[in-house]
Each structure stands twice: as structure tokens, then as C-alpha cells.
Amino acid sequence: MGERVGIEVSLAASEAIKMANVDVVAAYPITPQTHIVEHLSQLVADGELDAEFIPVESEHSAMSVCCGSSAVGARTFTCTSSQGLALMNEIVFIAASLRLPIVMLLANRSLSGPLSIWNDHSDVMSIRDCGWIQVFAENGQEVFDHVLFAFRVAEDAKVSLPVIVNIDGFVLTHMIEPLEFWDEDTVKKYLPDFKPVNQLHPDKPITMGAFGMPIIFTEAKKAQDEALIKSKTEILKAWKELGDLVGRYYQPVETNHLEGADTVFLTMGSIGETVSLAVNELRSRGKAVGQVKLRLWRPFPFEELREAVKGVKRIIVIDRAISFGGPGGPVASEIRAALYKERTMPAITNFICGLAGRDVTPDDYIKMYEKTEKMTKKKVREEDYIIYGVRE
Amino acid sequence: MIKSEEELTWKDLEVGCVVSDAGNARQYKTGDWRSLRPICDKTKCIKCGVCYIFCPDMAIRKTDEGYFEADLYYCKGCGICAQECITSCITMVEEEE
């Protein structure tokens, strides 16, 4: 196995991208993604990474370049945050429909306004339905592992879809953590050379991105939906192989302290670790509390979620984004929908918290649990969502 | 056997809906967009080819006798040929159905 080093997560991510031997990086710097792009630029300038680094004039151009380079068969990477993702939005959807296996690290940051550079999940939720495979990382090691995982899955001929790896801005990107690098042989074993399913090449001309009349559009969308759903098989395979090689086994839905739990927290991203501290504390007080973490956001892991919460009476879903005027946070809405057909559906309490980097500590999660416990006892009809900690 | 667009299911589509046979736009019938059809009065036609040059869809062909006529598989009936014709030999008439 590779060596264990103390390194900022952004730099570690860049080193993983280097190990993936990427051909093209097209990105525009934006906080808090900046260190990743800066470091990649440095690696290319120093001759340590033999790739084209294309310093585009906007994120719209970044994603456009990525589509072009992926289409000719180059291993392609980009990275953005918040407003940058909003600006590349148009092309993000096109990349998925063209089935181009681009890899994006999304350093999650709130969408303006008020203008903010801090972490929440409003950026990724704005492109929830873009057709990319979307996963969340909880710590630096998971970011490193998932860079290599992302290329492996995206470029799998049975998948051929772009992948977003979500990493919480600052909380992960700017953290210095001890993490284990892979050695080169392991990377080689895990990540074969990129052989595109479709390739723009003068020897065999094809058209990508052609017009689709109403007579064919519905079929095109159905094919795209099926491709994303079916990608789960290869995703599971890639996680299994990753585990066999480096000893860390990832799952679409991961659990903690589920034994006998009647209430579980459901989280995505780095707050999973904070919640686990709260769960430990509550367990020590004799509360039957557990935790469910969604790693795979798209394709949504319906079966795994239903299996994980079987027998659970209440789920406390933590959202890091608001759906204005909607039924709750985006995660809670999907959890409710996913469990609606279950014979015994658990009650769902939805807290929206940690918006734009506001700290949420283990104590806060304990308070959320206590509030939920009180509501359960009183049998009140709950609000669809509670914005935790808002000053009234 | 190649299926027509109406018969294609989602399973028949190529990954990413790429078009892998170059130049297949030729099969695409745009003639059914037409509500007006160009009719040429050969007694006035001087075979100058102005209609051929101006047609934005290259839907006008030269015949063996040297006249120019619209290929109704592609002609959308825009009327540019009639507008540009020097001797006004082209008139646009309503499609019957």
C-alpha cells in the first residue's frame, strides 16, 4: 500500500488526479475550489503531469472544453463551486446526454445571494437532475479514493457517464488530514486506459449533439435514464474492487450504530462525522439512535436505503439547502418519496442547517434529537421542515 | 434492415444518440413543412439559375433540358426562388392538402 502523508485535501485531490494521468484539465478558479486548480496548474507547469491545462475565461467555457476533449477521447477533469457551477449549468446537462465521461470535483459552496463563499449543498442541488453520477465524500481519504473511483466508473464502457464528486468547501478542501496515497501499481490495476465508447475521429466521422425531433426525444431521454440507473452495477463493482485493493469498502448507503435504533440521523457529506459524535454521545445516554449516510446521490440507492431504515421509527433528515416554497429540503423530499410505498413508513423530521458555513456542532445535533423526541411524545403534527438555529 | 424513426425504440439508439453514418441528413424529409409550392412557367424561364443559387436548402436541381426545378422532397416552400426570379416565371401556389 502507499504511504500515509499529512496534506491539505485539495492538494491530495490534485495528486490523485495526477495519478489518474489525466489528459486535459479545463477549469476556472473559484473559492473554495481554487487550491485544486492552482496545484494542477503547477504540476503541469513543472512537467510532473503531462496534460493540457486550459485556463478558460469562464466556467461555461470550462465545461465546453471538457465536452470537446472528452469527445476526442482524452481523459478530462474539471472542478468548480457554486456560481461557477451555475454558469456552466447549460453544458453540464449536455455532457450527460452526450454520455461523455468527464470527472468533476465540486467543492460545495452556497449559491448567491447574499454573496457567500462558504459551504452548503445549494450548488449541487441546483443540478440534481443533470444526469451525472453524483457521490459525496466525507473526509480527505474518501476524496482521494473517489477521484480514482470517478474516472474508473465514468469511463467504464457499460457506463460512459460523467461523475461529480462532492466535497464540502473549506471543511474538506482546506483541511490538512493524514491520508494514504495509493502506489502507482495499485492505480494501474484499478484504472485501465480510457477507451471511449464514441470518439470524434477523422477516420470514422460521427455526429455528436444532433437535433432530436419530438419523434425521437422521449426515447433519447429514456435511454439516458436507463443508463444512469444501470450504472449502479458498475459503481458497486468499482467500490468492491477499490476495497479489495486498498481495504476501504464504500457503500451507496452507509450506516453507523443501527443496532436496535428507533431513530436515525440521515446525512450527506462531511457532517456525517460530526453527527457520528452526537450519535456516540446519545448512545452513551442510552438513546437508541443510529445514523445513515448517503454516499450515492445519483443514481439514487432506493433498495439500499429501504434496507438500511427497515424497522426504524423515525428519520431525522439533515439538509444543507432550501427548496424555497417547497415541501422541505431536497434530501428530505427524496427520502419521503423513496419510502412512501413502504408498508411501515418511518416518521420523517427535516432539519435544514449549516447554510453557508454556519457551524453545526455535535451539541446542535443532540438538540435536534431532543426536539424531535419531544415532538414525538406530544404527537404534534410536525412542520414539513425546520430551519435549525434561525433567530426568530 | 434500417428502422424508420417512428419504429425506433429507446434500446435501438446509439450511446449518446450519436449519428454514426455520415451524411444521413440527406434522408431527412423537409418537404412536408411546405404550405406553398413553387411552379415554374417554362415559357418564361431563361435557364439563368438564379433560383438555384438563392435556394437556401439546395433544393433546386438542374434538369436534362437545362431548366431548374424544385426537389419537393426537400423544398420547404419559402418562396425565395419566386422572389429572386428575374423573369418572374416562378409562382408560389397553395398546396392542395
Number of neighbours of residue A371 by Cβ within 10 angstroms:
15
pLDDT at A199 over 60: yes
> Could you say which of B10, B16, B20 has the minimum Cβ distance to residue A97?
B16
**DSSP one-letter code for A252:** S
**List of chain A residues whose C-beta atoms are within 8 Å of the C-beta of residue B33:** none
**List of chain B residues whose C-beta atoms are within 8 Å of the C-beta of residue A160:** 15-16
Across A37-62, b (16+ Cβ under 10 Å) vs e yields bebbbebbeeeebebebbebeebbbb
The model's pLDDT over A62-95, given as tens digits with 9 standing for 90+, comes to 999 999 999 999 999 999 999 999 999 999 999 9
The model's pLDDT over A237-294, given as tens digits with 9 standing for 90+, comes to 999 999 999 999 999 999 999 999 999 999 999 999 999 999 999 999 999 999 999 9
- The helix-helix angle for A214-246 and A82-97 (nearest 10°) equals 110
Q: Given pLDDT bands bounded at 50, 70 and 90, which one contains residue A1?
A: low
Q: Given pLDDT bands bounded at 50, 70 and 90, which one contains residue A380?
A: confident
The reported pLDDT for the residue numbered A3 is 79
Q: Which residue has the higher pLDDT, A2 or A347?
A: A347
Identify the closest residue of chain B to A222 by CA–CA distance.
B10
**List of chain B residues whose C-beta atoms are within 8 Å of the C-beta of residue A97:** 16-17
Please give the ipTM for the structure prediction. 0.88
> Who contacts A290 (Cβ-Cβ below 8 Å, separation ≥6)?
A255, A256, A257, A258, A259, A261, A263, A264, A265, A279, A312
Number of neighbours of residue A345 by Cβ within 10 angstroms:
12
CB half-sphere exposure, A321, CA atoms < 13 A: 25
Tell me how close the Cα of B50 comes to any Cα of chain A, in angstroms: 31
The reported pLDDT for the residue numbered B30 is 92
- What grid cell was written down for A71? 469527445
> Could you say which of A99, A204, A226 has the minimum Cβ distance to residue B16?
A99
Query: What average pLDDT is seen over chain A?
Result: 97
The model's pLDDT over B50-97, given as tens digits with 9 standing for 90+, comes to 999 999 999 999 999 999 999 999 999 999 999 999 999 999 999 985
Answer whether B29 touches A (CB < 8 Å).
no
Q: Are A304 and A252 in contact (CB under 8 A)?
A: yes
